Amino acid sequence: PVFDDPAFDHHEQIVFCHDPQSGLRAIIALHNTNRGPALGGARMWNYADSAAALTDVLRLSRGMTYKSALAGLPFGGGKAVILGDPKHDKSPDLFHALGRYVDSLGGRYTVAEDVGIDVADIEQVAHETAHVAGVPAGGSGDPSPATAYGVFVGIRAAIKHRLGADRIAGDKLTGISVAIQGAGHVGYELARHLTGAGADVQIADVDPARVKRAQDDLGATPIATDHFLEAEVDVLAPCALGGLLDDTTIPKLRTSIVAGAANNQLAETRHGEMLRERGILYAPDYVINAGGIINISYEGASYDRARAFSHVALIHDTLLAIFQRAEAAGIPTSQAADRLAEERFTHPNPDPAQA
Ligand code: NAD
């Protein structure tokens, strides 16, 4: 029931891919290409059934439209999901078949990595199509440092708006406390930026070795994973899992700001309003974590990391604009972000260079 799926949101095109020889079963969804060709990762996951895969790809591709629009990128939103177990079901043939499907879209969709897919898989896809991103040849490498840098500048914007510009002394964040959930690719790198700026960083991870690394290398203070949400800090930075802000957890928060990299932090849309009612400033996840895709957009023979990172730095101003709009309209920041994105992708863009 594609058109009746609750996640269906006027998607432009949905492609069901089946290649019996390789066993590929995949769905590619293009949500909106008004700003340019769709860019988004392929996810491989052992979905309970094809309905669950469809819902996921519809939701994820829609999210990419919003993310690219607010990052000022000339891309639309698209995503692919492969039904299968990433540990057992991968083969070069499977990714070649996916590549042929991506190629059949003639450039309307560019594929990159997502959960369950790594660089080697996308290199196999690249045997069959040029419409790939995030591969080492001509690529920009691991997007996590760019994501972390975007979260860092986003945290600065949130501090300015919620706590006052006087809490930031020049480039320094002395006297600011931040708790990070997840000391992985993004969380560790974010901790490095924050401690470098003089902030007091607490860090939680289910993997003790990762916490120890952040403690030894950066001087971060370890905290128990189940104390993260209740940490009494200026900023909570979720950099592990989504869905952590809900009816049970929001009343427990003792922070003024939630600003981190994790995707889909609000369990439901209405939790944006709940945070607002509690006076907690929320940096919408798809705005603050766009550094990685911004970096990917600069890929190519002339990739220039400094240029890409200057673009990532604009996340600071985008967030300030969203915070101000939300305050003026008396709406949650998550809703202000959605509205701003919709203004940017609802109509076809006549000049992609101005996207
Ligand atoms: P990662 O797998 O490198 O790190 C995640 C870390 O979280 C791991 O160290 C893991 O042990 C830890 N973790 C898992 N459950 C936890 C829990 N309950 N409490 C504390 N720690 C826990 O992932 P990443 O690439 O750093 O991404 C982090 C988040 O940011 C993810 O939600 C991801 O979707 C999102 N994100 C990442 C990027 C990127 O460029 N990597 C871009 C956009 C969004």
pLDDT in tens, 150-180: 999 999 999 999 999 999 888 899 999 999 9
- What spacing in Å lies between the alpha carbon of 183 and ligand 1's midpoint? 7
Interface confidence, given as ipTM, is 0.99
Ligand 1, atom 25, lies closest to the CA of 185
In the predicted model, is pLDDT for residue 342 greater than 70? Answer: yes
pLDDT in tens, 68-126: 999 999 999 999 999 999 999 999 999 999 999 999 999 999 999 888 898 899 999 99
Sign of the four-CA dihedral 296, 299, 303, 307: negative
Ligand 1, atom 29, lies closest to the CA of 262
What integer pLDDT is reported at residue 355 of this predicted model? 46
The pLDDT of 225-230, averaged and rounded, is 96
Tokens 């988004």 correspond to what residue? 40
For ligand 1, say whether the CB of 204 is within 6 Å of any of its atoms.
Answer: yes
The CATH code of domain 144-344 reads 3.40.50.720
What integer pLDDT is reported at residue 139 of this predicted model? 64
CA distances from 244 to 40, 207, 250, 293 (A): 24, 18, 9, 23
For ligand 1, say whether the CB of 240 is within 6 Å of any of its atoms.
Answer: yes
What integer pLDDT is reported at residue 178 of this predicted model? 98
The Cα–Cα gap between 232 and 229 comes to: 9
- What spacing in Å lies between the alpha carbon of 238 and ligand 1's midpoint? 8
pLDDT in tens, 231-275: 999 999 999 988 899 999 999 999 999 999 998 899 999 999 999
What is the crossing angle of helices 50-70 and 333-345, to 10°?
80
For ligand 1, say whether the CB of 186 is within 6 Å of any of its atoms.
Answer: yes
For ligand 1, say whether the CB of 203 is within 6 Å of any of its atoms.
Answer: no
For ligand 1, say whether the CB of 265 is within 6 Å of any of its atoms.
Answer: no
Residues labelled catalytic: 79
Sign of the four-CA dihedral 247, 251, 256, 258: negative
The pLDDT of 186-209, averaged and rounded, is 97
Ligand 1, atom 41, lies closest to the CA of 144
Q: For the residues of 256-314, what is the DSSP string, one character each?
A: SEE--S-S--BSSTTHHHHHHHTT-EE--HHHHTTHHHHHHHT-STT--HHHHHHHHHT
- What spacing in Å lies between the alpha carbon of 328 and ligand 1's midpoint? 33
Domain 2-67+74-125 has CATH 3.40.50.2300: no
The Cα–Cα gap between 220 and 230 comes to: 18
CB atoms near residue 195 (< 10 Å): 19
Q: For the residues of 9-65, what is the DSSP string, one character each?
A: -S-SEEEEEEETTTTEEEEEEEEE-TTSSEEEEEEEE--SSHHHHHHHHHHHHHHHH
Cα pseudo-dihedral 231, 233, 234, 238, rounded to 10: -40
User: In the chain, which segments carry CATH 3.40.50.720?
Assistant: 144-344
User: In the chain, which segments carry CATH 3.40.50.10860?
Assistant: 2-67+74-125
Tokens 């996951």 correspond to what residue? 45
Dump strand ranges (E) for 126-233.
177-181, 200-204, 221-222
Please report, as a single letter, which amino acid is at residue 23. G
In the predicted model, is pLDDT for residue 137 greater than 70? Answer: no
For 81-90, 134-143, 173-182, 282-291, which range has the lowest pLDDT when averaged over its residues? 134-143
For ligand 1, say whether the CB of 64 is within 6 Å of any of its atoms.
Answer: no
Of how many residues is the chain composed? 355
What integer pLDDT is reported at residue 349 of this predicted model? 63
CB atoms near residue 303 (< 10 Å): 15
- What spacing in Å lies between the alpha carbon of 20 and ligand 1's midpoint? 34
Mean residue pLDDT across the chain: 94
Nearest to 26 by CA among 123, 127, 100, 132: 100
The Cα–Cα gap between 197 and 174 comes to: 7
